[in-house]
Amino acid sequence: QSVLTQPPSVSAAPGQKVTISCSGSSSNIGNNYVSWYQQLPGTAPKVLIYETNKRPSGIPDRFSGSKSGTSATLGITGLQTGDEADYYCGTWDSSLSVVVFGGGTKLTVL
């Protein structure tokens, strides 16, 4: 059971928009930065969003991050078949003194 809760799967058609939620608590999301990672099949995870809403260089602006209270959201617009992957949120838990990840969300682009 993950400390952060994500939906197991989401799906949408090419060109559409999808959001992936990540729910936590005041000891993690509520008071720390959130990161989002994309893991394509057979590859290592790649950071999409850092410090809750910032994109590393090379990450297209189709990807966005936001936070409200103890929940964070990853948004992906203009979906492409190449976006099919597992997506994870992650943050520091100040009470547990551990890094926590969500259980992961599998994105299917229909």
Partner 1 sequence: EVQLVESGGGLVQPGGSLRLSCAASGFTFNSYSMNWVRRAPGKGLEWISYISGGSGTIYYADSVKGRFTISRDNAKNSLYLQMNSLRAEDTALYYCARGRVYDAFDIWGQGTMVTVSS
Listing DSSP states for 14-32 in one string gives TT--EEEEEE--TTTGGGS
User: Which residues are bridge partners to 73 per DSSP?
Assistant: 21, 66
CB of 95 to partner 1, least distance (A): 13
What distances in angstroms separate CA 4 from CA 42, 53, 81, 89, 103, one per listed residue? Answer: 24, 18, 27, 8, 7
Cα–Cα distance, 11 to 109 (Å, whole number): 6
51 in contact with partner 1 (CB under 8 A): yes
39 in contact with partner 1 (CB under 8 A): yes
Binding window for partner 1 (CB under 8 A); candidates: 15-23, 40-48, 69-77: 40-48
Q: Which amino acid is at 59?
A: I
**Site map 60..89 versus partner 1, x via CB under 8 A:** --------------------------x-x-
40 in contact with partner 1 (CB under 8 A): no
CB of 8 to partner 1, least distance (A): 10
Sign (positive or negative) of CA dihedral 80, 46, 11, 24: negative
Candidate list 1, 13, 41, 44; residue touching partner 1; CB under 8 A: 44
Candidate list 12, 33, 62, 84; residue touching partner 1; CB under 8 A: 33
